[in-house]
Amino acid sequence: MNNSSMEVATIGGGCFWCVEALLQQLKGVEKIVSGYSGGTVPGKPTYREVCSGLTGHAEVVQVTFDPKIISYKDLLLVFLTSHDPTTLNKQGGDVGTQYRSVIFYHNDHQKKDAEEAIKELKPYYSDPIVTEVSAAQTFHEAEEYHQDYYRNNTTQGYCSAVITPKLAKFRKIHAEKLA
């Protein structure tokens, strides 16, 4: 793949282990890095600091993808339908601002696509979509042990109880988009 044709998406929807595991399945996704963004404190935060809820950062993934294979808007539609975008600062048992549903756009085109994707999905939810759409801020790569977490820890409790069932459902719903 020609790297100059790649685009970057920065999104969060609960625990980054789960978002990473799901989006790694998609055609056109070249790389995913788990990290933190959207915070208000200076410097690079640690996982423990982000989990305290005091930094303002969200757990996010930065996705490098080929827009000729999957468009940014299609990536967002998959993302928005793979978590609950109607719950504020919560996904399942994960609660706190670090687990908020968020799209950090990198340009005006991405902002427009994010707004359109949310508008397109609104009729399918009984509650309002609360996904935050904000300009991209500094992305801080998470600690190494968070990268490829599900692939490296499939039998870990959270992975087997939360991610594995979610991944099975994801594969059924988005089968045509899987690598």
Tokens of 32: 């995913």
Alpha-carbon separation of residue 55 from 9, 46, 47, 165 (angstroms)? 22, 10, 10, 31
Span 128-177, pLDDT tens digits: 999 999 999 999 999 999 999 999 999 999 999 999 999 999 999 999 99
Predicted TM-score (pTM) of this structure: 0.95
Active-site residue 18, yes or no?
Answer: no
Q: Strand 29-37 to strand 58-65: parallel, antiparallel, or no bridges (unpaired)?
A: antiparallel
174: left (phi over 0), alpha (psi -120 to 50) or beta: alpha
- For residue 107, the number of C-alpha atoms closer than 13 Å in the C-beta half-sphere is 4
Q: Which among 171, 148, 116 is positioned nearest to 20, based on CA atoms?
A: 148
Predicted confidence at residue 178, as pLDDT, reads 94
The whole-number average pLDDT for the span 96-114 is 98
Span 25-38, pLDDT tens digits: 999 999 999 999 99
- Reported confidence tier of residue 4, pLDDT bands at 50, 70, 90: confident
DSSP H helices in the chain: 16-23, 47-51, 72-80, 108-121, 149-152, 157-158, 164-173
Predicted confidence at residue 3, as pLDDT, reads 64
Asked if 9 and 33 touch (Cβ cutoff 8 Å), the reply is no
Predicted confidence at residue 175, as pLDDT, reads 94
The whole-number average pLDDT for the span 14-21 is 97
Predicted confidence at residue 65, as pLDDT, reads 99
Residue 114, pLDDT above cutoff 80: yes
Span 42-82, pLDDT tens digits: 899 999 999 999 999 999 999 999 999 999 999 999 999 99
15, 18, 51, 159: the active-site residue: 15
Share of the chain above pLDDT 70, in %: 98
Going along the chain from its start, the domains and CATH numbers come out as 3-177 (3.30.1060.10)
